[in-house]
Amino acid sequence: MYVFKEWEDAKLRLWSKVKKLKKHIPDYGYSDSNRAYSTDEKFCRFVIQKLRDVKWKIVDVLNMLFETGVNNLEMLEKTKNEIDMFLDEVKIRELSCRRSITSEVLDSIVEYDFNITEELEKLKRETELLFEFSLKIETPANRMFDEKDIVELNKKVQTIEKHVKKIREMFEERDKLINLKKLHLLDFVKEKIKTI
């Protein structure tokens, strides 16, 4: 086990964010390698659960719209598939640890964790709005839908897509920081370059 002394300073600097993260992830912290593993595992489970909730809400919307005769749901289906792929990426990732983490890296990890958590909440809200909107789409007798409803539906789907993309990008950046094995290899390469 490696102790990360810089964690106490990082925790104080970013206390309001750490406090909010602790509401979602019990024992959130990076004070040592064991706690870093535990925090990362809990954070990933949190992300997986939130994404699953969103995915199943989208499945509900797809089923509801299909039953009411709405066609051309490819955008929504594509978004659901993107969430599925992202879920798989989060599930299969690995974490390794090195002997030390700089204060700047700890700050960045906390920032990413906080921002991902906030963005997941926005994604959840947008998905709820999509669900509520889908409930309001009425089926006319001739099974033709008002074009403005379909346009509005697609706008909501695009907003959800943007949130998913942003979360995925932030998670990948976070992963570069937290997957310390990759960072360790990068440090090794930098050291070799310095000696050339």
- Domain chopping of the chain, boundaries: 6-195
Q: What is the pTM of this model?
A: 0.85
Least confident of 69-73, 97-101, 147-151, 152-156: 97-101
Give residue 67's pLDDT band: very low, low, confident or very high (50, 70, 90). Answer: confident
Residue range 76-88: mean pLDDT, rounded: 96
Give residue 173's pLDDT band: very low, low, confident or very high (50, 70, 90). Answer: very high
Contact 30, 106 (CB under 8 A): yes
Task: Determine what percent of the chain is predicted with pLDDT higher than 90.
Answer: 60
Residue range 142-171: mean pLDDT, rounded: 87
Please indicate whether residue 150 or residue 11 has the higher confidence score (pLDDT). 11
pLDDT of 39 reads 93
pLDDT of 147 reads 77
Count of residues for the chain? 196
Mean pLDDT of the chain, nearest integer: 87
Burial tier of 174 (Cβ tally within 10 Å: 0-12, 13-18, 19+): buried
